[in-house]
Structure 1
Amino acid sequence: IVGTAKAEEVRIDPKEVEKMVPATISIMPTGIDEALGPDKLRDLMTFLLGTSPSMPNDRAGGPPPRSRAEVERALAGAPPADSDPRPMQVVLVAGAKDHGPGEHDYPAWLRAWKTLFEAANNVVVTTAMDWPEPEAFETADAIVFYQQGKWNEQRASDIDTFLKRGGGVSYIHYAVDGGTDAAGFAERIGLAWKGGGSKFRHGALDMLFKSNHPITRNINRLQLEDESYWQLVGDAESIDILGSGQDDDAMQPLVWCHEREAGRVFVSIPGHYSWTFDDPLFRILLLRGIAWTAHQPVDRFNELIYLGASVQEKSHGASSNRESAE
């Protein structure tokens, strides 16, 4: 398969190829360096020469790629991208991996999503293991946690101060673990996991979403192969439940947001398997949620959706077994 400058694919029978030699000129459009300018050109080359912002493919049995049509339906209605958005500081926080291949791979997520956010316009991204440095709570716009949660009094103080000044926090999957103070954690994020009391299930999730929130625009239903939590500690009446799925014969909160003082909180229970982070529809939800917590337009990170994502460009007669963006 040969790619052309018009982004077309030309299939050539290998038997017809007499020899192959490196091209002496690039297929990049002529004048692209002048059109982009030095800063955007540097960003482009960094992305092209760097690692793909995707998770390791180290577990068999993942879901099929999404079709581009599914993704475009979810993105419909977005305003044109802002060429000069407000500067934003994002802090990504991970922890030590605590499950098998393809599960709870916090360090791999940290690397992949740092690369992902580095491709965003006017975003400074920093990373931390276990817990951010104190200055992060003074300067960050959004902090994203993907780790096993470890709640204590000092962390409660840091988050309270951060939310009071208008910061945004996002918690993914096991980051909602409240340890010995699940009730105290739930006061900040709405609902929290309690070991020995909360329940979980691996497998197919069929989530239904409310349609009147910016984060869930165009996404009414989403099917994932991941993990659900329920019987969590906290008051479900205190949160805005965005998405839920059925377990124990009842609809259980799986994605929600919450406002506390001047700050905002976004939570996604899905995020157990690495492949979920490469699902472009899950990315839309997560990136919208992160932008929302930072008081930014929810479409702020649309340019990142496809980078390293699992997308089937052409169906060739195949179809996905997952319904979404209805």
Structure 2
Amino acid sequence: MPLALLLLLAFTAVLTPQANCQATSANAQAPRPWDQNPTGMHIYIWAGLKSHQPGQHDYPQFLADWSKLLTEHGAVVDGALHAPRAADLEHADVVIIYKGDAGYLIDEEKAALEAYIKRGGGLVSIHDSLCGPDPAYFATLVGGAKKHGEVNYTLGAPIPYTIVDAANPIMKGMSNITIFDEAFYNMTWAQNPSMHVLATAVIPGTPSAGAHKGEVVPQIWIYEHALPGGEPARAFVWMQGHEYANFSNYQIQQMLLRGIAWAGKKPVDTLVDYVPPQPSHTQSPAVNK
């Protein structure tokens, strides 16, 4: 056999395993974490950059903490500090929005969000996520919204809840607690259909509240609707979250877990009651490392 042919065959033999390995690596998917629920509901967290004082509006911390908490409760979680793109929403059951002024949407973001809702995707709006330049439009997505630039907030104050639909399963175990947070008023409400109120609060007499002191305003609600040409969709809204510590309140946390599951069209206790599987004797956390 000519020397040149021998050299060519040897060179090909060296390259072939490497090429096969590269092809396999390109086609293979990363292994799933050993304790993640493969059949869990898919949640996308749309968070924002930190704003306000320490301990307030900590959107990035929410993304970190609730990615972990929701995974521990059986969800498959993704998220970012930017609006979800169409690819982000492809498999999502529910989008949790916790960022300031989410109502400011560019055309591409608006189109992606509307397409997601039209296929029945759920929304969860927390605190000032429902603020923006066009509250009438954003109210059609989550049931109610407020306009940016108007004085429609109390700032920090005791917020006393009155549960008006204690029979709703989302409110199971929720009592008429008072938390230190912020409430909103001067809302624009969706019409035909309208939202369904779960809890209200009396607006406290803060300097910014002014003459609105004593008004009774919905602060927790659900909203079932369909965008034109779309499937039925759900939204769940909690208007507090100004003080980040309130996310650790047991009653609030259980309510949020149930509201998220409901918005994603899952049984309302899906996340609350999830029990992670115990690793088998032959499996250890290091298996997929």
1:267 matched residue in structure 2: 237
Q: C-alpha separation between the residues in 2 aligned to 1:296 and 1:255?
A: 19
- 1:230 equivalent in alignment to 2:185: yes
In the superposition, the TM-score normalised over structure 2's length comes to 0.72
Residue 207 of structure 1, CA deviation: 0.5
Residue 154 of structure 1, CA deviation: 3.4
Q: C-alpha separation between the residues in 1 aligned to 2:151 and 2:138?
A: 14
Equivalent residues in 2 for 1:1-326, closer than 5 Å: 42-43=34-35, 86-121=39-74, 123-148=75-100, 149-152=102-105, 153-178=107-132, 180-201=133-154, 202-209=156-163, 210-235=165-190, 238-247=194-203, 248=212, 249-261=214-226, 262-303=232-273
Which secondary structure state, in structure 2, belongs to the residue aligned with residue 169 of structure 1? Answer: strand
Residue 240 of structure 1, CA deviation: 0.4
Tell me: CA distance 1:186–1:292, structure 2 relative to 1, closer, same or farther (3 Å).
Answer: same
Q: C-alpha separation between the residues in 1 aligned to 2:199 and 2:257?
A: 15
* Contact 1:211–1:217, Cα closer than 8 Å, also in 2: yes
Q: C-alpha separation between the residues in 2 aligned to 1:155 and 1:241?
A: 28
Which secondary structure state, in structure 1, belongs to the residue aligned with residue 265 of structure 2? Answer: coil
Amino acid at match of 1:160: E
Amino acid at match of 1:195: H
Residue 160 of structure 1, CA deviation: 2.1
Q: Which moved further from structure 2: 187-196 or 149-158?
A: 149-158
Which secondary structure state, in structure 2, belongs to the residue aligned with residue 196 of structure 1? Answer: coil
* Contact 1:156–1:185, Cα closer than 8 Å, also in 2: no
1:23 matched residue in structure 2: none
Which secondary structure state, in structure 1, belongs to the residue aligned with residue 153 of structure 2? Answer: strand
Residue 197 of structure 1, CA deviation: 2.9
Q: C-alpha separation between the residues in 2 aligned to 1:287 and 1:293?
A: 10
In the superposition, the TM-score normalised over structure 1's length comes to 0.64
Q: Which runs of 5+ in 1 are unaligned?
A: 1-38, 47-83, 306-326
Larger Rg: 2
Q: C-alpha separation between the residues in 2 aligned to 1:304 and 1:109?
A: 21
Q: C-alpha separation between the residues in 1 aligned to 2:151 and 2:167?
A: 29
Amino acid at match of 2:253: R
- Structure 1 vs Structure 2 CA RMSD: 2.4
Q: C-alpha separation between the residues in 2 aligned to 1:181 and 1:115?
A: 33
Tell me: CA distance 1:295–1:235, structure 2 relative to 1, closer, same or farther (3 Å).
Answer: closer
Q: Which runs of 5+ in 2 are unaligned?
A: 1-31, 204-211, 227-231, 276-289
Identity %: 29
